[in-house]
Amino acid sequence: MYIKRHLENIVLKTSESFPVVLVTGSRQVGKTTMLTKIASSGRRYISLDDPLARELAKSDPGLFIQRYAPPVLIDEIQYAPELLIHIKMHVDKNKRMGDFWLTGSQAFHMMKGVSESLAGRVGILNMTGLSYSEIACRPNKVFLAEPSGFHDRVIKDDNLRKVFNRIHKGAFPALYERKQEPEIFYSSYINTYVQRDIRDLTQVADELSFIRFLQACAARTSKMVNYSELAKDAGISSPTAKQWMSILISSGIVTLVEPYFNNALKRIVKAPNMYFMDTGLCAYLTRWTNPEALEVSAMAGAFLETYAVSEIMKSYINAGRRPPVFYYRDSDQKEIDLILEINGTLYPIEIKKSTNPGKNSIRHFSALEKTGMNIGGGTVVCLCNDIVPVDRNNSFLPISVI
């Protein structure tokens, strides 16, 4: 069973505007499956996972382009960056839009080559795991923190058990299309990610320390990044922790949400918050073997926040847009989980594991007034079953709508 991806139309539109389209994202999020599904019958497919194809691409990239003439889909381009200059030469000569579709699991390994070789010629799209809207077969809608546009997306029978089943299962397509067991899938995923991508492409020599670092990051999802603590838990140095964090970010495993800052704010915390993009992978790394145990655990709130943030970010990524997300925390301990900055207006968002969080949940929204920016309607994403006004400007919003 193939689940239709919201990025499909964005790929096709980008292909009309650029001779090269590059779809990046972590392993197993469905890049190749999506592109082969929407490709025309005349587009050839070649994977650089194939040792023979990879050897030809590396040793004689010019001959490779002749043999696999466009329109072509080249999978796992990071294994043969030598191809990029020859792709540039081809598109400069022929000037046809959409000739090359490329995928790459490890953006950090190839982005330098792409930016140098294909500047102005490539449309780059990021792909994540399935969003809840894709799983539920409903259209994508970017999250704008304005509840008036979300009434038709409320799912009345969504409840705590269903939400944490989704959180524990995660968002990799294989878990929905082939009914794989999550624990078996994630065990294999970690082995593949560490052994192939991390060891081969980034020269991380100590695999056990890297896995400990992964686990330490998972235990701190939705928290402010502290490299000293991460380094201590993994038994590595702080500079190594920073380097490894960049690997996790570039390979789509985690994302950092930066604090909102402008010149009017003098007393804010400047470290970013870290979130896993897939809660199922995070649950596996933190050893929660079932959703029931996770839901009653001390980490339940952190997982709910991680899930909500990743879904909000997916709504923008799947529209081909950069997520305009920040957070707020100052030295007076005032915190706002998420802020959207859209067209000069700030929209505050809190995320609560509660069916009725109360007015106290919006008490810090007023801290944004000193920014001098326009303040839009605020929302509290929670476990209520309908959109409920808190006051004139703020609302409780069911987590099912995002």
Q: What is the pLDDT of residues 286-311, one digit of tens each?
A: 999 999 999 999 999 999 999 999 99
Residue 174, both tokens? 């294989």
Residues 308, 352: Cα–Cα separation, whole Å: 10
**Which one, of 99, 101, 59, lies nearest residue 79 by Cα?**
59
Share of the chain above pLDDT 70, in %: 94
DSSP 68: T
> Which strands sit side by side in the sheet containing 273-276, from one edge to the other?
223-224, 273-276, 254-257
Residues 21, 23: Cα–Cα separation, whole Å: 7
Query: What number of residues does the chain have?
Result: 402
Residue 320, both tokens? 């081909």
Torsion of CA 144, 173, 169, 129, to 10 degrees: -40
pLDDT (mean) for 147-166: 84
Residues 375, 356: Cα–Cα separation, whole Å: 24
Residues 162, 305: Cα–Cα separation, whole Å: 16
Bridge partners of residue 287, in order along the sequence: none
Residue 138: burial class (beta carbons within 10 Å; 0-12, 13-18, 19+): middle
Residues 6+ apart with CB under 8 A from 142: 315, 316, 319, 321
DSSP 75: E
Residue 323, both tokens? 């997520």
Residues of the chain with CATH 3.40.50.300: 8-126
Consecutive H or E run containing 242: helix 238-250
Residue 335: burial class (beta carbons within 10 Å; 0-12, 13-18, 19+): middle
pLDDT of residue 200: 62
Phi-psi region of 14 (alpha: psi -120 to 50; beta: other; left: phi over 0): alpha
Residues 74, 80: Cα–Cα separation, whole Å: 10
pLDDT of residue 264: 60
Residues 6+ apart with CB under 8 A from 319: 6, 10, 140, 142
Query: By the 8 A CB rule, do 288 and 273 touch?
Result: no
- Determine the CATH number of domain 8-126: 3.40.50.300
Residues 312, 291: Cα–Cα separation, whole Å: 22
Residues 6+ apart with CB under 8 A from 271: 224, 225, 226, 259
**In which band, very low, low, confident or very high, does the pLDDT at 158 lie, cut at 50, 70 and 90?**
confident
Residues 294, 301: Cα–Cα separation, whole Å: 10
Residue 88, both tokens? 């540039």
pLDDT of residue 112: 65
Residues 215, 290: Cα–Cα separation, whole Å: 17
CA angle 284, 304, 377 (to 5 degrees): 150
Kindly report the pTM of this predicted structure.
0.93
pLDDT digits 0-9 by tens, 63-92: 999 999 999 999 989 888 889 999 999 999
Query: Which amino acid is it at 197?
Result: D
Residue 390: burial class (beta carbons within 10 Å; 0-12, 13-18, 19+): middle
Buried/exposed 201-239: b ≥16 CB within 10 Å, e otherwise: bbebeeeeebbbbbbbbbbbbbbebebeebbebbebeee
pLDDT of residue 251: 83
**In which band, very low, low, confident or very high, does the pLDDT at 177 lie, cut at 50, 70 and 90?**
confident
pLDDT of residue 265: 64
pLDDT of residue 125: 94
**In which band, very low, low, confident or very high, does the pLDDT at 353 lie, cut at 50, 70 and 90?**
very high
Chain mean pLDDT for the chain: 90
pLDDT digits 0-9 by tens, 91-132: 999 999 999 999 987 655 566 667 677 888 999 999 999 999
pLDDT (mean) for 212-216: 95
pLDDT of residue 39: 95
Lowest-confidence pick of 22-26, 198-202, 349-353, 390-394: 198-202
DSSP 105: S
pLDDT of residue 263: 63
